[in-house]
Structure 1
Amino acid sequence: MKKALKIILWSVLAIAVLLVGAAMLFSYKVTHGFPVSYETDVPAISFPEGKTKVLLFSKSTGFRHGESIEAGKKAFADMAAKNNWFLYDTEDGGVFNAEQLAKFDVVVFNNCTGRLLNDEQQNALAAYVKNGGNWIGIHGAGDNSHQWPWYEQNLIGANFSHHPIEAHLQEATVTLNDAPDTLVENALPQTWQHTDEWYVFFDNPRKSGSHVIYNIDGTKINPNGNIMFVKDKNFGMGKDHPVAWYRNVEKGHAYYTSIGHDATAWAQAPFLNLLQNEVECSAKKN
């Protein structure tokens, strides 16, 4: 009996060690990246005249928000049909070349996570934005998995820390701010209720010159991101917790929202109107 009990206890301990090791490996890979392949073939694209041209990029090599990505693809297809946009929907990085990027009014990162582009493609995207291009990032596009400091400093403008774990998804009141570009705020409600995975950043993006469009009251959510051996993620951003903002990047512009963890966001009219406004702003600036 004692021998059987020892075997059971050692088996339980071994399973626990394996689970902890697997969780730590997964956490490391989310931050530092999974094995990546880069697509380098330049696609054949026929660009129509007289339409706003949108590149919707949904590749992920880190955590994949599959449900939200698919909902986002459908939502952008619907917006494109409604507004007569040309939408190029892809998960292939070959389109990130100087010649083709220059023809798009805006590039959208639809929950893109992990290392996505090779060095040449990253340089092409950076040059596109700095020379007057526009970029929109949604939710996972703002986590710390991209292994590209320029991207984090310039397109996001804030360093991601964590998201809540104890209360993974939480309802909050999303409140509109006054932004210099009123077109961004066109037809947006002053407040709306939404449940999401509220990303916590080390610094408020206002500090890096970003213009906040929407924020929540960070004192009314539980921001605790501690899990297993992680014990230093029990802080939030305080009362002013931005969840959507935009910033100038030399001659170009970057828009980011941490909203959009799952498909429920894409059923929210304010969220869809926000993204539509950002695309329209991008077309106006070009």
Structure 2
Amino acid sequence: MMLRILGLALLLLSTQAVANSPYLPTPTHDTVPPVLPARLHKAVLIVSKTNAFRHIEHIPHSNDVLSQISASLGRQSFVTENAAVFNDAQLRRFSVVVLNSASGDFLTAGQREAFARFVARGGGVVALHAAGDSSHVAPWYVDTIIGTRFIGHPLGRDQFQPAAVTIADPTHPVMAGVQLPWAPRDEWYSFATSPAAKGMTVLARIDEQSYRPGKIAMGADHPVIWINSRTRGRVVYSALGHTPEAYDDPNYRLILTNAIRWAAKR
């Protein structure tokens, strides 16, 4: 009996620890939109809402960097974790939505429909890192923003490794000015298939010979940055960016700058 009580106590403590983990916030859906600053027009909306794994290390810093990049492009930005901003009236005040490791089912059905209308009328999207992981299951989101299925990343001592990034389309504006060779240290996502199979255009790949992908190796075609060429709105996804240091890398800052600039142009 004593062992059973001890076991139940340990289970309760472990469950509470998971529930209280800053990496796994309690999922919520927002219903009251934020108050936007006056005269916000053609701005950049930066959203780091997380209803699944939360990248607590990089989100504060990367939100600051993304705001700085927006300012350098002459655009106002608004940073929020209130997904109720995904409504037609407020989205019309933005040219680009940046999904900064937004994870999980963070949009209600109505908010997702407003987001779909935003893209359909030409709104741009820059989705980063966890915005493309397996916690996203809504069909429109998967088909439009990701185009494939995340299957994992190396773990243990191999979770963070330098890997060589190769440019698949050096003529595309998102990749303009990137200096090679480039081997950033990051958490390298693998996917079930290349998004090119769904009509997307791969801009950059990872050279699997330059790191240890383990059992989730994809072979010669291992994409890391791509665009959705099938939408009126310009959609960019980058799997890079787990660590805060990634956003201080000159090449990655340039890619993010290029991506926001490109996505803002219908």
Does TM, scored on the shorter chain, surpass 0.5? yes
Q: Shift in Å at residue 45 of structure 1?
A: 2.0
Distance in 2 between the 1:40 and 1:210 partners?
33
What are the superposed Cα offsets for residues 160-189 of structure 1, whole Å, 9 maximum, x if unpaired? 111111411111111122266x32222222
Q: Shift in Å at residue 52 of structure 1?
A: 4.5
Which residue, out of 156, 161, 176, partners 2:167?
176
Distance in 2 between the 1:121 and 1:249 partners?
21
- Structure 1 window deviating more from structure 2 (182-191 vs 205-214): it is 182-191
Alignment of 1:9-158 (within 5 A): 35-46=26-37, 48=39, 52-158=42-148
- Within the alignment, does 1:275 sit opposite 2:266 as a pair? no
Alignment of 1:214-225 (within 5 A): 214-224=204-214
What are the superposed Cα offsets for residues 92-121 of structure 1, whole Å, 9 maximum, x if unpaired? 112100121122111000011111111100
Distance in 1 between the 2:69 and 2:25 partners?
33
Distance in 1 between the 2:234 and 2:68 partners?
24
SS at match of 2:234: strand
**Amino acid aligned to 2:81:** E
Distance in 1 between the 2:186 and 2:152 partners?
14
Q: Does the 8 A contact of 1:179 with 1:212 survive in 2?
A: no
**Amino acid aligned to 1:102:** R
Counterpart of 2:232 in structure 1 is 251
Q: Shift in Å at residue 62 of structure 1?
A: 0.9
**Amino acid aligned to 1:186:** A
Q: TM-score, normalised by structure 2?
A: 0.86
Distance in 1 between the 2:220 and 2:35 partners?
48
Counterpart of 2:182 in structure 1 is 192
Distance in 2 between the 1:90 and 1:219 partners?
39
Distance in 2 between the 1:197 and 1:206 partners?
22
Q: TM-score, normalised by structure 1?
A: 0.81
What are the superposed Cα offsets for residues 173-216 of structure 1, whole Å, 9 maximum, x if unpaired? 11122266x32222222331101110010001121122122211
Q: Shift in Å at residue 149 of structure 1?
A: 2.1
Q: Does the 8 A contact of 1:177 with 1:215 survive in 2?
A: yes
Q: Does the 8 A contact of 2:29 with 2:108 survive in 1?
A: yes
Root-mean-square deviation (CA, aligned residues, Å) is: 2.7
Unmatched tracts of structure 1, length 5 or more: 1-6, 225-233
Higher-Rg member (1/2): 1
Q: Does the 8 A contact of 1:52 with 1:84 survive in 2?
A: no
Counterpart of 1:228 in structure 2 is none
SS at match of 2:117: helix
> Which 4+ stretches in 1 moved above 3 angstroms?
46-49
Distance in 2 between the 1:220 and 1:184 partners?
23
SS at match of 1:240: coil
**Amino acid aligned to 1:213:** L
Matched length = 256
Q: Shift in Å at residue 35 of structure 1?
A: 4.5
Change (3 A) 1:52 1:280: farther
Counterpart of 1:231 in structure 2 is none
SS at match of 2:57: helix
**Amino acid aligned to 2:31:** T
- Within the alignment, does 1:238 sit opposite 2:229 as a pair? no
**Amino acid aligned to 1:193:** A
Q: Does the 8 A contact of 2:25 with 2:54 survive in 1?
A: no
State the identity as a percent.
32
Distance in 2 between the 1:40 and 1:18 partners?
34
Counterpart of 2:154 in structure 1 is 164
Unmatched tracts of structure 2, length 5 or more: none
Distance in 2 between the 1:247 and 1:147 partners?
18
Q: Does the 8 A contact of 1:58 with 1:90 survive in 2?
A: yes
